[in-house]
Structure 1
Amino acid sequence: MSIIKQFSVVVLVLISFKCAIAQQTLETVVAKEGDGIIVMLRKEGIDVSKYYAQFLELNEDKLKNGSRLVLGETYRIPDAPDSFKNRGVSISVSDDRERPIFEGELATLRRKDSSLINTVYYLIEHNKTPKEGVSLGMARNLLQSGARVYLLESNVKDSLDLIDYVSVVNKKYLKHNGDYQRLMIIDNSDAIAKTKAEVTVYHYAERVESKRFADNILKVLGKNEINHESLDDYSKVFTDFKNIAFAKNILPPITFIDMDSKSDGEHKTIKVAADKKNITNLITNGILSDYTNTEFNDN
């Protein structure tokens, strides 16, 4: 056998071995009452039109009449890096445990557009669990526009400082290096329970992207009371040592939103209707505004 033929055989064997390993590591799901292929894929947060044919190929020997699932049968799920399951991840900072943000609810998500494709957002919300606050609604909005979202959570008993989030965020940032990435921290006390929320937006003074991120959110939140000349009156910088230390060590540009039921009297605040859906949509629109107004280098 010639060297070329031997090399070709080796390559084919390696490819076959790689494909076999890939299929062995695919997730599997058992068909339940009422499941069809479309329902099953949606439950896994997968784009049906994109992965339907691949599902048929992976499971052709287990389908009835070519496309019907058999109750109780186990089916392989296509590897879908762009699924809602893979793009929306909740991370427990205490133990690095990861799970889908919308585990058990993936079928409720629908891709609305691709306006935030190639973007990554890190969300941290203090003083509220995700279900009580606005971060969960923001994650849903961002995911449905094509973004990747990491929701960082910690157990209240752990009493973590912001600096404890640095390692987790920076690892993910390096993994997605080259994408547009932003970190948002929301301090939400009892504002959502009131009629009006007093909102203050902070940024890190030494990063232009942080200032621009904060300004674009401010413009949306205070569209009826802020003009270009008065923007700096509402845009605040970090002065607390811990916040500055965190901002210096974190890789993505950061913006901090403080929501309270009353003003401290020291800073100008934006009064926003304290409806959870309203605040969620306003902040999401500010995020979208920042991305669409950012100029990117070709290199």
Structure 2
Amino acid sequence: MRKSFFLYVFVLLFSGMYGIAQNSLNSVTAQPGDGILSLLRKQGYDPYAVYDEFITLNHHVLQDSVHLIAGKVYLMPDAPLATVTLVDSIQKQATKIKEIESVSYEIFGEKNKTVIAKSERLKGNVYYLVSGHGGPDPGAMGVYAGKTIAEDEYAYDITLRLAKELLAHGAMVYLIIQDENDGIRDDFVLEIDHDEVAYPDKTIPLNQVARLKQRVDIVNDLYKDNKGKYQRLIVTHVDSRSVGQNIDVFFYHHEHSKNGKKLAESIHKTFDAKYKKYQPNRSYAGTFEDRTSLYLVKKTHPAMTFIEIGNIRNAKDQVRIVDPDNRQALAKWISEGVLLDFEEK
């Protein structure tokens, strides 16, 4: 696969898909070690296609809104089984297929490479996604289950999941940091490597200022190329604080950017609403505020938000980061905030 990876949407429109392979199971009992993604996959679903419906059906028997409880019975979505694995055969049988434009989605990994359209709500919009650190710099480090974990791997996984969500709504997405080998991963401990590159295939410098300047230059050059289009930048990091400090997801923006502030506020509003729905006994303490001192916030041209996911050294925050169900929820919630930002413009 070539490292230069410019994402477009590949939309399948066909009749009868949702009448294929309807699930005959109404419920299933969670076993020890099951997560939402693994449970859905074991039952034959594309877990990402039905994730939200599963959460809605079972929110009253989920721990912290995203965790299964062993021994509890969970309702299964009324949706086609193994949607992604059926795509090839469906394409051969379908009479109505519309290909807007597509490239390989190998960047998402073999299990997740197919993007099926949910809507065209973001059609024509351009989003630049930057995951923190990468290449020679793993970023903040922590220890989970006796193993070292690195910020760049988790920020990248969340960013990939976010990219897939935005693509599914018709957006044009640029992944500014890329790793052709990783894809979306459902592991708790993500293996650390140093082979990430910057779009399209640039070696990431070790020097911090050079590394940040490289990202700024890439984004600003693309911003000029896409002049006249609706453009936004989302930067994702994982913070590092004292071991005892538990923090919520929070957002930064440029002090003079009304659109950047609105983007940060829209995602923040979405997170606040999700916490009230799924964790009503726990207040959400995340904030959105200007932080123009940050290099990427200060120097990049698109309206943007800089997201800190949590403290990689804190045990409670680590659960938010290492659990793949949580990473999927984070990406989904961010994407819903992005939709809110655009549709309330």
Matches within 5 A, 1:176-255: 176-188=226-238, 198-223=248-273, 224=275, 234-240=287-293, 242-243=294-295, 246-255=296-305
> How many residues align structurally?
195
Q: 1:114 is aligned with what amino acid? A: E
Match of 1:288 in 2: 339
Q: 1:119 aligns with which of 125, 134, 153?
A: 125
TM-score (normalised: structure 2)? 0.47
Name the counterpart of 1:278.
329
| Separation in structure 2 between the aligned mates of residue 105 and residue 85 of structure 1, nearest angstrom | 16
Query: 2:131 & 2:119 partners in 1: Cα distance?
Result: 26
Report SS of the residue matched to 2:120. coil
Aligned to 1:151: 175
Q: 1:203 to 1:271 in 2, by over 3 A?
A: farther
Coordinate RMSD, CA, aligned: 4.0
Structure 1 gap ranges (5+):
1-43, 51-67, 69-79, 89-99, 226-230, 265-269, 295-299
Larger RCO, structures 1/2 (Cα 8 Å, 6+ apart): 2
**Residues 130 and 179 of structure 1: is their aligned pair in 2 closer, same or farther, counting only changes over 3 Å?**
farther
2:257 aligned partner, one-letter code? R
Pairing of 1:252-271 with structure 2 (within 5 A): 252-261=302-311
Give distance in 2, aligned partners of 1:211 and 1:168.
22
1:101 shift after superposition: 3.8
CA contact (8 A) 1:85 1:102 kept: no
Q: Say whether the 8 Å CA contact 1:121–1:148 is kept in structure 2.
A: yes
Q: Contact 2:9–2:171 at 8 Å: present in 1 too?
A: no
What secondary structure is seen at the aligned counterpart in 1 of 2:170? coil
Q: How many Å apart are 1:132 and its aligned residue? A: 5.7
What is the letter of the counterpart of residue 247 of structure 1?
A: V
Paired amino acid for 1:288: L
What SS class does the counterpart of residue 134 from structure 1 fall into? helix
Q: Match of 2:337, as an amino acid?
A: G
Task: Give how far 1:221 is off.
Answer: 1.1
CA deviation map 1:99-142 (0-9, x unaligned): x7447678621111101101111111113237862001111111
Q: CA deviation at 1:177?
A: 1.6
Contact 2:312–2:318, Cα closer than 8 Å, also in 1: no
| Structure 2 Cα separation of the partners of residues 116 and 272 of structure 1 | 31
Query: In 2, Cα distance between the equivalents of 1:198 and 1:208?
Result: 24
